[in-house]
Structure 1
Amino acid sequence: MDTRKNIDGLAGAMMVGLCMIWGMQQVVLKAAANDVAPVMMLALRSGIAAVLVGLLMVWRRDGLSLREGNWRPGLMVGCLFALEFMLVGEGLRHTSASHMVIFLYTAPIFAALGLHWRLPAERLKPLQWLGIGVAFIGIVVSFAGGEHERETRDAGQQMFGDVLGLLGAMAWGATTVVVRCSRLSSAPVTQTLLYQLLGGFLLLMLVSTLTGQLRFNPTPIALGGLVFQALLVSFASFLAWFWLLRNYLASRLGVLSFMTPMFGIAFGVWLLGEPLETSFIVGALLVLSGIVMVSGYEWLSQWLKRRRVNP
């Protein structure tokens, strides 16, 4: 019997905090970009978090289970994790944090498409296909840009960064598919996280070296950003999220997680002074609506059933 609970006050408060942290991470990367390249920041945060997760695994006596064959999908998710954040880091050099957070969080759409193809139990329902269509329209509208944006920034550079964010979302979605369809689906959370962090650190450091993005000017914003990214984003928030998944209904948590892009946009406008164009607002709302229809299908279905019973 499933012992997971509905959302209570503790879970609600934790989700608000987590979504604020996740929404802030793109803004912090962008704010510190003059002192440390985003790709370099992402590499360092992955390395520090990997050490912390490794120490936690030693304390909890979690093994890597290499004999069980987990290293093969582990290697794959490590590479996909690195690819995702390489695209994010490069994309933030060309587009705004607000744009990046919206395009990156289309990942559930790509994960749903991949799982539909690989797992019979994850076949998409008509409402979910409609959600994918709505999200796609939203992406097209967001790409259109606005008059002010065309006057103040290179439209080609902006679109290039947006496309990189969308490709990063595809890599994130592919990571979800690999985890769900491999031995990692039953492995300890810390093991999967460690594979991702090690892959991210090694490959992103390689990319930083090859592209000449090794600079790190130890200003307060750079050091504070690194502490935020390593301790809160890559370590504490991820472990807290999986604790919530073990104790509460995933469909309810999934719906609440869509606060993240809204926080990301709000922080980008408030802290970085990023402009908000009408086309982007409309596109973002369409994207978020489509994602809720796809990932929140179970919750929406139950809500509609209750409305029919109690009109």
Structure 2
Amino acid sequence: MSFRDFLLLFAVCLVWGLNIVLTRWVVADVGVPPLFFAAVRFTGVAVFLIPFLRPKPPELKTLFVIALLIGSLNFALLFVGLKNAEASAAAVTGQLGVPISTLMSMAFLGETIGWRRGLGIMLAFAGVVLIAVDPGSFGVSVGLLYIVGSAFIGSAGGILMKRMAPISGLQLQAWVGLFSFLPLFLFSYLFETGQVATYIGAGWPIWLASLFAIVGVSIFGHGAFYTLIKKYDVSLLSPLTLMTPIWGVIFGIVLLNEPITARLVLGSVISLSGVFVIAIRHNTRMPEAAFGKKLGPGDS
């Protein structure tokens, strides 16, 4: 990989990691309802990417179902999870999309795995369990359970994408945005209150965070990532994308003053080690499994 392209991937992972923390700040600290914030983001994506809606994809019904999985449902669970879990822990837990995608490629696409990837899957889940479960109170972080659900839904969307004729990355983003914002606004109307007043009253920092999520993450981040995928093998890119959760942990500690605990450090090392093992092993049926949710709407 050229140094220029490495810097581009470095910037993409930094943007993804920072956005996890910004989203946590918006929905938890400022109090913007998470479903409403997700709806605003997808509305912006749909508006900015209107030119990429053409030509119309041939399998529009399948794309609609995919959009519900990797768009509305995925982000509803993700943002509700971020409201109830620390960003640093969520950044690591979100990487379960990699082993979940691998397991789904086994179940639905006939992929076979050896003992190394099997061990990697067990490590990835074991590390997250260590982070999510408090042995002192025998409690489980509800927020991280939502994040796990988000990873599962996003991975299911990735499996369905494998059965659809491929389309460009920005065209996928455009149609996911178009199909996702109305269901999210509907969910927000049914389950949340004070959305508009809270969002407008929060002022320009929230509007800037929204613009960053739309332009920085959905357009720059995913557009640049698709460009790199076309140039380099999955086996080279996928381990490097583990910079994303590392940035998420760093930004969570620095910007949100989240505590550094032994469980977080040990669980992160165990889980990300497992993800790394899976990422560097070749998946013949679904190479994209090594990226988890990154080939859908992305990390956050």
Q: Shorter-chain TM-score: what band? A: 0.7 to 0.9
Aligned to 1:272: 256
Separation (CA, whole Å) in 2 of partners of 1:173 and 1:164? 14
Q: How many Å apart are 1:14 and its aligned residue?
A: 0.8
- Give SS of 1:92's match: helix
Question: Are 1:163 and 2:145 counterparts?
Answer: yes
Which among 158, 172, 190 is matched to residue 170 of structure 2? 190
Among all aligned residue pairs of Structure 1 and Structure 2, give the percentage whose two residues are the same amino acid. Answer: 23
Q: How many Å apart are 1:47 and its aligned residue?
A: 0.9
- Give SS of 2:141's match: helix
Question: Are 1:119 and 2:109 counterparts?
Answer: yes
Question: Are 1:178 and 2:168 counterparts?
Answer: no
- Give the TM-score taking structure 2 as reference length: 0.86
Once the two structures are superposed, the pairs formed by residues 204-223 of structure 1 within 5 Å of their partners are 204-213=184-193, 214=195, 215-216=198-199, 217-223=201-207
Separation (CA, whole Å) in 2 of partners of 1:134 and 1:221? 38
Q: How many Å apart are 1:131 and its aligned residue?
A: 0.4
Aligned to 1:12: 6
Q: How many Å apart are 1:35 and its aligned residue?
A: 5.1
Q: How many Å apart are 1:290 and its aligned residue?
A: 0.8
Q: How many Å apart are 1:218 and its aligned residue?
A: 4.1
Aligned to 2:296: none
**Does the 8 Å contact 2:92/2:128 carry over to 1?**
no
**Does the 8 Å contact 1:77/1:195 carry over to 2?**
no
Aligned to 1:95: 85
Q: How many Å apart are 1:32 and its aligned residue?
A: 2.1
Aligned to 1:303: none
Separation (CA, whole Å) in 1 of partners of 2:275 and 2:62? 26
Question: Are 1:136 and 2:125 counterparts?
Answer: yes
Aligned pair count reads 276
Q: Which runs of 5+ in 2 are unaligned?
A: 284-300
**Does the 8 Å contact 2:84/2:142 carry over to 1?**
yes
Q: Deviations over 1:47-89 (max 9, x none)?
A: 111122222x26xxx4123xx3x11221111111211110111
Separation (CA, whole Å) in 1 of partners of 2:143 and 2:170? 32
Question: Are 1:46 and 2:42 counterparts?
Answer: yes
**Does the 8 Å contact 1:28/1:225 carry over to 2?**
yes
**Does the 8 Å contact 1:146/1:279 carry over to 2?**
no
Q: Deviations over 1:250-301 (max 9, x none)?
A: 22111110110000000000000011211121111111111111122149xx
Distance 1:144 1:35, change over 3 A: closer
Separation (CA, whole Å) in 1 of partners of 2:103 and 2:55? 32
Separation (CA, whole Å) in 2 of partners of 1:260 and 1:190? 21
Q: Which has the larger radius of gyration?
A: 1
Separation (CA, whole Å) in 2 of partners of 1:199 and 1:40? 15
Which among 82, 98, 101 is matched to residue 108 of structure 1? 98
Q: Which amino acid aligns with 1:172?
A: G
Aligned to 1:304: none
Aligned to 1:63: 55
The structure 1 segments of at least 4 consecutive aligned residues displaced by more than 4 Å after TM superposition are none
Which among 246, 249, 263 is matched to residue 262 of structure 1? 246
Separation (CA, whole Å) in 2 of partners of 1:135 and 1:114? 15
- Give the TM-score taking structure 1 as reference length: 0.83
Q: Which runs of 5+ in 1 are unaligned?
A: 1-6, 300-311
